Amino acid sequence: MINAGDTTFILICSALVMFMTPGLALFYGGMVRHKNVLATIMQSFIVIGLVTVIWVLWGYSLAFGPDVGGVVGSLAWFGLKGVGLSPSPDYANTIPHQAFMIFQAMFAIITPALITGAFAERMKFSAFLLFILLWSTFVYSPLAHWVWGAGGWLGNMGALDFAGGTVVHISSGVSALAAALLISKRKGYGKEQFIPHNLPMTITGTAILWFGWFGFNAGSALASNGLAAGAFVTTHVASASAALTWMLAEWMHHGKPTTLGAASGAVAGLVAVTPAAGFVGPLSALIIGGLAGIICYGAVVAKSTLGYDDSLDVVGIHGVGGTWGALATGLFASTAVNPDGANGLLFGNAAQLWVQFLSVLVTCIFAFVMTVVILKLLDLTIGLRVDHEEEVRGLDITQHSETAYSL
């Protein structure tokens, strides 16, 4: 039976999660050089259009449709066939099925958008569109099915992922690594200075992400109840604490607390708490976030040593942060918080940590391999990268015939 309170909750949360992707566009857009800001924003913005169409046609069906051997959904729900306005028996049975579908759509949208930070400032727009099309179909949908789909094998295995630590963050972070390695460095990387062109834009994006993330995590309770409130609180607390620790780590390391550091920390905290949100208490969230700020800062700093050019640190924040979060869920999860969850290592259940570890491992391998395959394919056919001349003049003019600012 449809509950008005729950339906309101999921619809508004869907709107909030939708708003995150333009937020991401600003978060990323502010960090690139001004000649690439529109192209960077566009890579997030157009994903909303493209993935929505994919999702309605086949993506949702592959992810949540009738299970096929635990690995993927069937195409029975192609074009949302049978996905109506009354609740689904399998998912969130107090809200219209389409409400659940559109809430999930917003997750399917932002995940590939996250990857774009890795190959910012150098990818060909046409190749980019095809990449998203293939990645969404062959990486996101199956993965979502494994973890959240009725009958999905990772879910059945007992892996805990409240709002998408593996499906969203690890998958995008690992794919980002693959992409950064394959598409190689930006021209002048390490020699020229890549200074963010508009940090207030990045902070604005961060604020929108934080705001939307409440819908992302609390909404994943799929009903408006204590669990939702708990997830809301842990989300906020982890983000706050990570913003502080990243800033402090940088302060100690470089002698200055930066605004971008605080913003990056906030996002790292949100990433880390995502899988844990509904399974841990506020104090655990404080610790998960606090450590996320430090771990992700370390990962971002390590990048320069490792020498790949992950332009906007998708690996360091989403890959590493998501992994930490998934494992942390195996440490801090407590049935006292969520009876439908499980206990983590700290509450006497070492097995859970092992399950979490497996789900991370599986996700990493699957996402990495698939992304390599897709990108190789595109590289050999149409080519991934703009030519040097275009890269120097910037993607805004060469890919889109636009300039961002005429001040």
Residues that bind other proteins (CB under 8 A): 192-193, 195-196, 250, 253-254, 256, 258, 260-261, 264, 297, 300-301, 304, 313, 392-393, 397, 401-403
What the block records as the tokens of 129 is 């569109």
198: contact with a copy of itself by CB under 8 A: yes
371 or 399, CB closer to a copy of itself?
Answer: 399
Partner whose binding site includes residue 82, from a copy of itself, other proteins, none (CB under 5 to 8 Å by kind)? none
Question: Are the C-beta atoms of residues 269 and 293 closer than 8 Å to each other?
Answer: yes
Closest CA to 25 of 257, 205, 245, 218: 205
Of the candidates 327, 354, 332, the one whose C-alpha atom is nearest the C-alpha of residue 343 is: 332
Residues 139-178 that bind a copy of itself (CB under 8 A): none
Q: Which two tokens stand for residue 327?
A: 């494992």
34 lies in the site for a copy of itself, by CB under 8 A? yes
Answer for the pair 214, 14: CB distance below 8 angstroms, yes or no. Answer: no
Give the span between the Cα atoms of 198 and 217, in whole angstroms. 29
Q: Tokens 């998203």 label which residue?
A: 132
383 binds, among other proteins, a copy of itself, none (CB under 5 to 8 A by kind): none
Question: 240 to 269, contacts with a copy of itself by CB under 8 A?
Answer: 240-241, 243-244, 247, 254, 256-260, 262-263, 265-266
Residue 346 near residue 331, CB atoms below 8 Å: yes
Stretch that binds a copy of itself, among 158-166, 172-180, 190-198, 377-385 (CB under 8 A): 190-198
CB 23 within 8 A of CB 270: no
Task: For the CB of residue 402, give the shortest distance to other proteins in the complex, in Å.
Answer: 6
Select from 93, 137, 184, 204 the one that contacts a copy of itself (CB under 8 A). 204
Least distance in angstroms from the C-beta of 85 to a copy of itself: 3
Task: State how far the Cα of 246 lies from the Cα of 293, in Å rounded to an integer.
Answer: 4
Among residues 131, 148, 162, 232, the one that binds a copy of itself under rule CB under 8 A: 232
In the complex, least distance from residue 31 CB atom to other proteins, rounded to whole angstroms: 8
Q: Please identify which residue in 236, 271, 330, 363 interacts with a copy of itself, judged by CB under 8 A.
A: 236
Residues of this chain, 283-342, that bind a copy of itself according to CB under 8 A: 283, 286, 337
Task: Give me the torsion for CA of 167, 170, 172, 176, rounded to 10°.
Answer: -160
Q: How many amino acids of this chain bind a copy of itself (CB under 8 A)?
A: 106
Nearest-angstrom CA–CA distance, 85 and 1: 11
Q: Which residues contact 148 (CB under 8 A, 6 or more apart)?
A: 63, 64, 104, 155, 161, 167
Q: Please pick, from the candidates 61, 141, 220, 399, the single residue that binds a copy of itself as defined by CB under 8 A.
A: 399
User: What are the Cα distances from residue 353, in Å, to 116, 230, 278, 288, 349?
Assistant: 30, 22, 16, 15, 8
Residue showing tokens 């869920």: 329
In angstroms, give the least distance from the CB of 173 to other proteins: 16
32 φ, ψ to 5°? Answer: -90, 175
Residue 401 near a copy of itself by CB under 8 A: yes
Q: Which does 163 bind (CB under 5 to 8 A by kind): other proteins, a copy of itself, none?
A: none
Instruction: Give the count of beta carbons closer than 10 Å to the beta carbon of residue 381.
Output: 10
Kindly tell me which of 9 and 135 has the beta carbon lying closer to a copy of itself. Answer: 9
Given a copy of itself, other proteins, none, residue 1, with its beta carbon under 5 to 8 Å by kind, binds: none
CB of residue 296 to other proteins, shortest distance in Å: 10
- Binding range to a copy of itself, per CB under 8 A, among 91-99, 133-141, 312-320, 380-388: 91-99
Contact status, residue 31 vs residue 196, Cβ threshold 8 Å: yes
> Closest separation between CB of residue 148 and other proteins, Å?
32
